[in-house]
Amino acid sequence: MIDNHQDNMTNLTKDDFVLVQKDTKISDKALESKPTTFFKDALKRFRKNRSSVVGAIILGILILLALFVPAISTKNIERTSKSEAFLAPKLFEAGTGFWDGTKKYTRIVYDIVNEVPADYYKPAVLNLKVDEKPTYIDQASKNGKGGFVIFANETKSPDKSVLLSSYPTLFTSSGNYKVQFLLDNEDHVQESVLGEYAVYLTYTDNGTAKRILLKDDSTDYGMIELDISLALQEAGLPEVKGSLSFELKSKENENTYILIKECVFSSNEETENYDELVNQISFTDATKMVLLARDEFQNVPVGYWSCSGRKGVHNSEIYYCDFLYDTYAVAYDAQEVTYAASDLQSYIDQGLCEYDYTIGPESFKKLSDECPIDSVIDQQINSITKKLLSVRANSYRYRKLGYKKMPKFILGTNQNGQDLFKKAFAGLRTSLMLGVCTAAFCFLFGLCWGAISGYFGGNVDIAMERFCDILGGVPWIVIMTLAILHFGNNFITFFLALCLTGWMGTAARTRTQFYRFKGREYVLASRTLGASDGRLIFKHILPNSLGTIVTASVLMIPSTIFSEATLAYLNLGLQGVQAFGVMMSENQQYLQSSPNLVVFPAIIIALMMISFNLFGNGLRDALNPSLKGSE
């Protein structure tokens, strides 16, 4: 290598050297790379930070929603409409199974007779699933059936009796009257044991109560048949007006009971009356029997058991069901609504329908889909003027409520029937406005304060710092509380009170930055050239320190939103405007029954905070590259 090199060197002649710029002038050339400014550079750095960009996009969407949703949405969030309260979030049509305005109900008592969950509106029930096996309860419920009548006696008390019908029935010795009852032998129910019982036919003879023994004290359980007519023949009575009664013995140290599943009377007498009576005092469904109760005039039904012990129901069958409940169908479905004649006339004038009251309901003709009335059921006419007063009509309730079509609430409605979506973003708009105003004020004021304190230093600085120490020592919650108690919870108070403590962060940051930069050579150079204090502050020091300060100010916006919400949870929330925190704290009490009312706002505010922080981190890295990556 070296030898080669030396060979070449020796072979060079003077002619091999040429002056490159022999006769050309060397002058400045314009830079070929594109010029860039500080902010362009920052933007470039910001764009590289992917998570910050995502944060900025989400933040942008939320801000746009907050600005435009309250302006565009036509839903009314001022009025209270109880019938529309607690509607579920709905984005798709009902029955699609996802976000469709239905609420899931589980273990609701099923009404077997009407084939609908008890006390629910049938057309709104979807995906009904009734338990295949019944659940047994010891309670008489109007949706229950079957089971046993439990007739019980306490320990060490007199024998108790129960009359199987409240009104005496005529039994004859010739009528072949029989009674059949089914007793169950399930022991140890409700901490008691099966007891000994006897059966009598109780009747009154000339005012004195008498009874004929039908079955002596026994512990026979199962199907038992007693012949009443035979007993009457043995007693030598042709006919008796009486009731069948059980007598239950008490025990020394245990409560006793018997379980009666059914009790059926029969006779071959063919009088209609008697059949009916016999049917009324018989029972096969214990739950229904126990539910028989005195009516409002204290009259008792024929089959009512008057009892000196305790009667109740045991193992009554009840069915539970799971289903989806279309809350919108309940609130807005077709119903009978009464319209005044003037309302109807206005619809006719608008050309929505035709109606002639002299002909009647048949004359109604719907001309447009916008007409709230579907069909007229009947009409009412003033008896004197012979003019139409009102019509009763089938109508969709949403039309009556002022909607053109079935409304959809994306996030559902709150306890006052107001749209949560609009309310949330209207509240967010207020919060954002408060945040931006506060951040802007604190930025400007803190900047001036910090600049003066940091630039001049010395005694000015010490005095200003002590002032900050004292003001900064007061917890913000104390300041806010006092301000609200004095000046009420309106927007201006919130703004001023938040500003009162908010600017100190910016001021401290600015002061530090000024201490850092004021001794630099470029400042000194400018000073020696005779620059004024103002010029030094605003032209030389401030632009260098702006990045950190701006980032901190941007992050003041979410902290203000957080403060507003915190105060709302302390019952000090903003009043008179739609406020996010107030809405959340009001909805808090419905956390269990309608979690959507709390969960959606919580997601919105969490998303807002997260994206603000992501955005803020990116902004800090972009504006101040030397801090990149630090927390």
What is the C-alpha to C-alpha distance for residues 184 and 258, in angstroms, rounded to an integer? 8
Is 292 a binding residue for another protein by CB under 8 A? The answer is no
How far is the C-alpha of 330 from the C-alpha of 334, rounded, in Å? Answer: 9
Q: How far apart are CA 314 and CA 260, in angstroms?
A: 10
Annotate 146-170 with b (16+ C-beta within 10 A) or e (fewer). bbbbbbbbeeeeebbbbbbbbeebb
Q: Are 203 and 211 in contact (CB under 8 A)?
A: yes
Q: Tell me the H-state helices in 307-408.
A: 327-332, 341-349, 397-400
Closest by CA to 109, choosing from 327, 316, 328, is 316
Judged by beta carbon, residue 238 or residue 458, the one nearer another protein is 458
Near another protein by CB under 8 A: residue from 482, 496, 524, 525: 482
DSSP 8-state code for residue 522: H
**Beta pairing partners, 322:** 129
Stretch of 15-23, 176-184, 296-304, 482-490 contacting another protein, by CB under 8 A: 482-490
Segment 310 to 349, residues that bind another protein, using CB under 8 A = none
Cα 74 versus chain centre, distance: 22
Instruction: Give the torsion through C-alpha atoms of 416, 420, 425, 429, to 10 deg.
Output: 20
602 is a contact residue toward another protein (CB under 8 A) = yes
Per-residue contact flags (x/-) with another protein for residues 518 to 557, judged by CB under 8 A:
----------------------------------------
Shortest gap between Cβ of 51 and another protein (angstroms)?
8
The 3-state DSSP class for residue 575 equals coil
Q: Please tell me whether residue 631 binds another protein under the rule CB under 8 A.
A: yes
Nearest C-alpha neighbor of 283 from the set 432, 408, 179 = 179
Residue 494 beta carbon to another protein: minimum distance, rounded to whole angstroms: 16
367 binds another protein (CB under 8 A): no
Alpha-carbon 591 to chain mean position:
6
Contact 177, 312 (CB under 8 A): no
Taking the C-alpha atoms of residue 518 and residue 347, their distance in angstroms, rounded to an integer, is 77
Give residues 443-472 in contact with another protein (rule: CB under 8 A). Answer: 469-470
**In the set 406, 549, 614, 619, which binds another protein (CB under 8 A)?**
614
Interface stretch with another protein, choices 294-302, 338-346, 493-501, 569-577 (CB under 8 A): 569-577
Whole-number minimum distance, CB 608 to another protein, in Å?
9
Given 193, 478, 524, 525, the residue binding another protein (CB under 8 A): 478
Counting contacts by CB under 8 A, is residue 228 touching another protein? no
Residue among 11 and 592 whose Cβ is closer to another protein: 592
Among 562, 577, 586, 590, binds another protein (CB under 8 A): 562
Q: In whole angstroms, how close is the CB of 476 to another protein at the nearest point?
A: 10
Pick from 164, 135, 141: nearest CA to 262: 164
Under rule CB under 8 A, residue 627 binds another protein: no
Provide the mask over 99-138, with x wherever binding to another protein is found by CB under 8 A and - wherever it is not: ----------------------------------------
Q: If we measure between CA atoms, which residue out of 595, 125, 107 comes closest to residue 330?
A: 125
Q: Which helix (H) or strand (E) holds 204?
A: strand 197-205
Is 592 a binding residue for another protein by CB under 8 A? The answer is: yes
Tell me how far the alpha carbon of residue 451 is from its chain's centroid.
50
Binding part of the chain for another protein, among 3-11, 70-78, 150-158, 560-568 by CB under 8 A, reads 560-568
Q: Tell me if 588 contacts another protein by CB under 8 A.
A: yes
- Nearer Cβ to another protein (64/478): 478
37 binds another protein (CB under 8 A): no
493 is a contact residue toward another protein (CB under 8 A): no
The total of other beta-carbon atoms located within 10 Å of residue 572's CB is 21
Q: Please state the closest distance from residue 417 (CB atom) to another protein, in A.
A: 22
Kindly tell me which residue out of 193, 377, 492, 591 binds another protein, with binding defined by CB under 8 A: 591
Does residue 584 belong to the site contacting another protein (CB under 8 A)? yes
Residue from the set 73, 81, 415, 481 that interacts with another protein by CB under 8 A: 481
- Whole-Å CA distances, 315 to 113, 144, 346: 19, 10, 60
474 binds another protein (CB under 8 A): yes
| Binding status of residue 606 toward another protein by CB under 8 A | yes
Applying CB under 8 A, which of residues 207, 222, 458, 473 lies at the interface with another protein? 473
Q: Can residue 352 be called a binding residue for another protein (CB under 8 A)? A: no
Structure tokens at 321: 């069901």
CA gap 249, 160 in Å, rounded: 7
State the amino acid at position 2 in one-letter form.
I
Q: How many residues line the site for another protein (CB under 8 A)?
A: 36
Q: How far is the CB of 482 from another protein (least distance, A)?
A: 5
In whole angstroms, the minimum distance from the beta carbon of 497 to another protein comes to 12
Measuring CA to CA, how many Å separate 418 from each of 203, 247, 423, 578, 599? 66, 62, 7, 12, 16
Provide the 8-state DSSP code for 82.
G
Exposed/middle/buried for residue 503 (C-beta within 10 Å: 0-12, 13-18, 19+): buried
Of 60, 475, 488, 625, the residue at the interface with another protein (CB under 8 A) is 475
Q: How far is the CB of 74 from another protein (least distance, A)?
A: 30
N- to C-terminal Cα separation, the chain: 54
Out of 67, 230, 477, 500, the only residue in the binding site for another protein (CB under 8 A) is 477
Return the number of the residue (113 or 470) whose C-beta is nearest another protein.
470
Single-letter residue type at 154: E
Q: Could you say whether residue 61 binds another protein (CB under 8 A)?
A: no
318 vs 584 by CB, closer to another protein = 584
Neighbours of 436 (CB within 10 A): 15
Residues in the chain: 631
| Position 570 contacts another protein (CB under 8 A) | yes
Q: Show contacts of 518-527: CB within 8 Å, 24+ apart.
A: 518/454, 518/455
Nearer to another protein, 79 or 466 (CB): 466
Does residue 613 interact with another protein by CB under 8 A? yes
Interface residues with another protein (CB under 8 A)? 469-470, 473-475, 477-478, 481-482, 485-486, 558, 562, 565-566, 569-572, 584, 588, 591-592, 595, 598-599, 602, 605-606, 609-610, 612-614, 630-631
